[in-house]
Homo-oligomer: A and B are copies of this chain.
Amino acid sequence: MYNIETIEGGVCAAQGFFADGVSAGLKPDGAKDVAFIYSESLCDIASVFTTNKMAAAPIRHFRRYGTFESNFIVINAKNANAMTGDAGVEDIDEVLAVASSRFEGIYNPIMSSTGVIGVRLPKERIKVGIRKFNLRVKNSNAAAAAIMTTDRFAKQIAVRITLKDGGVFHIGAIAKGAGMINPAMATMLCFITTDADCHSEAMQEALDDGVVRTFNAISVDGDTSTNDTVLLLTNRQSGCYDAAAFKEALEQVMLHLAKAMVRDGEGANKLVTFDITGARNDAEAAKAAKALSNSLLMKTALFGEDPNWGRVASTIGASGIVCDEKRLRIAFGDVCVYDKGTIHCDAATEARAAEVMRCSEFTIACDIGVGSGSFQAYGCDLGYEYVKINADYRT
């Protein structure tokens, strides 16, 4: 047995990790825009990157290292360093050389970027930012704020895991992401640090597995931005580890951040869980759940607070999974509106379903009735504000 509790400290909660954000003049209002994460000892790294074929320069730069250890990450907002070719990768080398020469003991430094595509990195400004870094600072707030783009709030979390034998380790993280994620492909970045004494293979496995039910539950596979990145670093300083506790705590951290991204969806006001059960298998349940969370008609119905269950049924029918209107059940919260061919949509039921939809968080539950596959995807509404943000984003 073990205990997982949420604590303060974000990405600096694990022993030996430091982070901060500074202003390098990339954001016009003087806000923080360049961050670092530093570990006083070398870390093993597990990673998940975008499947986008136009993967940005930072990802191609990372991959050049192959398997490796590192202890330093620089992250900038406002510029994605994507579609910038080999020059974009060379720009990263040039920028990171400043960090290596200014600070001692920097090893295999990593860069991560988010912002506009197709513009060369503002190297000189970022270099100025790097020179401002103080590697002894533990300011997760500032780092989380610096990597924000259209985010309305900074995203961080940390947990302490206490094992039965009294051993303690920590997992902390910062993240950014405020788009509709998919299909809008706004970039998501997440940096997770831990002092757990885990092997790099176990770490990668736990990360891959957790991503499926967290960040990939807010994004359809393959339809990702040029820059999407999740990095997990361990410096093993706690000397403690328990595989089950580590997996559970890691997934809890990622689910918290994934939900925060949906809650912060551009112009979004609702966090809706699409809870699919009874599908032929988990993969089909995921297909239906993601189809619902990505449907434009569904998103606008959420915005209009209209319990339009016909759109739910139609979206499931179009998702390509095995289903049948005679076996389907649909509920908004605990209000069942359609049950295996019977329409429960008298005025009173509609009113109760509409009331559920006026909440800022609720579940739309669909039982497909053909098997035991299940999946939960997370989505948000789409309103005028989304159009405004995205019509004007570059200008």
Residues of A within 8 A of B (CB): 50-55, 80, 82-85, 116-119, 179-180, 183-186, 222-226, 291, 294-297, 300-301, 303-304, 306, 308-311, 313-326, 338, 341, 343, 345, 382-384, 386-388, 390-395
A387 to B269, CA, bound (A): 14
Whether A118 contacts B310 in the complex (CB less than 8 A), given A83-B325, A318-B52, A341-B85, comes out as yes
Q: Which of B223, B308, B310 is in CB contact (< 8 Å) with A82? A: B310
Q: Does the CB pair B54–A323 fall under 8 Å?
A: yes
A5 to B56, CA, bound (A): 50
Chief secondary structure at chain A's binding surface:
loop
Q: Does the CB pair B345–A183 fall under 8 Å?
A: no
Across-interface contacts of A291 in B (CB, < 8 A):
223
Min CB gap A300→B, angstroms: 4
Q: Which of B117, B301, B345, B384 is in CB contact (< 8 Å) with A314? A: B117
Across-interface contacts of A50 in B (CB, < 8 A):
318
Across-interface contacts of A313 in B (CB, < 8 A):
54, 82-83, 117-118, 226
Min CB gap A191→B, angstroms: 22
Across-interface contacts of A51 in B (CB, < 8 A):
318
A390 to B303, CA, bound (A): 9
Min CB gap A140→B, angstroms: 29
A55 to B318, CA, bound (A): 9
Kindly name the residue among A84, A179, A321, A394 whose own CB sees the greatest number of chain B CB atoms within 10 A: A394
A313 to B118, CA, bound (A): 9
Q: Which of B54, B295, B386 is in CB contact (< 8 Å) with A183? A: B295
Min CB gap A309→B, angstroms: 6
Across-interface contacts of A179 in B (CB, < 8 A):
297
Across-interface contacts of A320 in B (CB, < 8 A):
222
5 residue pairs, one from A and one from B, having the closest CB atoms: A117-B310, A54-B317, A304-B391, A300-B390, A52-B317
Across-interface contacts of A53 in B (CB, < 8 A):
316-318, 321-324
Across-interface contacts of A185 in B (CB, < 8 A):
295, 297, 311, 314-315, 318
A53 to B80, CA, bound (A): 41
A-B contact pairs, 12 of them (CB 8 A): A52-B314, A52-B317, A53-B318, A83-B313, A83-B343, A85-B325, A116-B310, A223-B291, A300-B386, A300-B387, A301-B393, A304-B393
Q: Does the CB pair B314–A225 fall under 8 Å?
A: yes
Q: Does the CB pair B296–A183 fall under 8 Å?
A: yes
A319 to B201, CA, bound (A): 30
Q: Does the CB pair A296–B184 fall under 8 Å?
A: yes
A220 to B51, CA, bound (A): 21
Min CB gap A92→B, angstroms: 16
A352 to B329, CA, bound (A): 53
Q: Does the CB pair B85–A118 fall under 8 Å?
A: no
A118's nearest neighbour on chain B, judged by CB, is: B310
A395 to B391, CA, bound (A): 27
Q: Does the CB pair B223–A318 fall under 8 Å?
A: yes
A192 to B241, CA, bound (A): 69
Q: Which of B222, B325, B384 is in CB contact (< 8 Å) with A318? A: B222
Across-interface contacts of A315 in B (CB, < 8 A):
185
A345 to B118, CA, bound (A): 9
Across-interface contacts of A316 in B (CB, < 8 A):
53-54
Whether A394 contacts B306 in the complex (CB less than 8 A), given A54-B317, A183-B294, comes out as yes
Min CB gap A279→B, angstroms: 12
Q: Does the CB pair B390–A304 fall under 8 Å?
A: yes
